[in-house]
Structure 1
Amino acid sequence: MQITASTVSLTVADVAASQAFLTAHLGYTVQAAADGFASLTRADAVDIVLLARGTQVLPPEQRDRHAAGLILAFTLADGLHDQEKRLREAGVEITMPLREEPWGERLFQITDPNGVIIQFVEWATSDDT
């Protein structure tokens, strides 16, 4: 098996709102879009498909589910503080302030207009301590 790409599919109430948020603040570009659907890509991250809740392409038991209980996490090589500042200055609400966990994970979270939690992570190195 050879995997050529990874995609996460999120069911949301307002596809256009998440699409606008992800393209404006996270640098995603639109690969394809139609009513109730958007496929977003970024060369250095997982692709994202947004599907409208209730869409008929989903199996009946999945149509009304919301992308809840998941965190879309992006690990950064460096610049976590800079990204938090950039997003804050752009008017994005930081829903979990920048912090460092005892195991060396630095992180902060934002939430898109549909309630999808997006987390940015940077790992502390032994040189940082």
Structure 2
Amino acid sequence: MRLTSFYPVICTSRIEETRAFYTDLFDFEVTFAADWYVSLRRPGPPAYELALLDHTHPTLPEAHRAPVRGLLLNLEVEDVDAEWERLVERGGLTPELPLRSEEFGQRHFIVADPAGVLVDVITPIEPSAAFADQYTGG
């Protein structure tokens, strides 16, 4: 199979608030907008895509028409401390997990979007010796 695109679609009842979260805070741009679906793209290179879908829309199989649950989006950035300052300290977002360094090789914090999706803002750091051998390269 040759993929031409791959992106998550967040099912939510809060389309407008979630759109504003990603466009205002993470520089995504709207490429398509309807009252039930919004397609977002963050210009690159590389370009990243994300979409929002009204969870009650009939394009979804009826048994799966529910708001998103249990989704975590990882956003790797160059300077997580600067993003903490911008998004939490100045921007007023409530952290679900405060800024911290992890032995497995991440400095990160987690916030939630209006749909309840967790957004993990990460800068990779050197892992401790206990985790270094678990990295496979590539």
Q: Does TM-score exceed 0.5, indicating one fold? A: yes
Is this contact kept in 2: 1:5–1:46, CA < 8 A? no
Q: How many equivalent residue pairs? A: 124
Deviates more, 1:27-36 or 1:102-111: 102-111
Partner of 1:61: 63
Q: Which runs of 5+ in 1 are unaligned?
A: none
- The residue type equivalent to 1:114 in the other structure is A
- The residue type equivalent to 1:83 in the other structure is E
Partner of 1:115: 116
Q: What root-mean-square deviation, in Å, do the aligned CA atoms of Structure 1 and Structure 2 show?
A: 1.5
Shift of 1:59: 0.9
- Check 1:122–1:45 CA distance in 2 against 1; reply closer, same or farther (3 A cut): farther
Shift of 1:122: 1.3
Name which one, 1 or 2, has greater alpha-carbon Rg.
Answer: 2
Partner of 2:48: 46
Identity over aligned residues, as a percent?
28
Shift of 1:96: 1.1
Runs of 4+ aligned residues of structure 1 deviating over 4 Å after TM superposition are none
Deviations 1:8-58 (A, max 9, x none): 011011111100111000110000010111000113453111011211111
How far apart are the structure 2 equivalents of 1:75 and 1:114?
A: 21
Matched, 1:17 2:22: no
- The residue type equivalent to 1:60 in the other structure is E
Matched, 1:26 2:20: no
Superposition TM-score, scaled by structure 2 size:
0.83
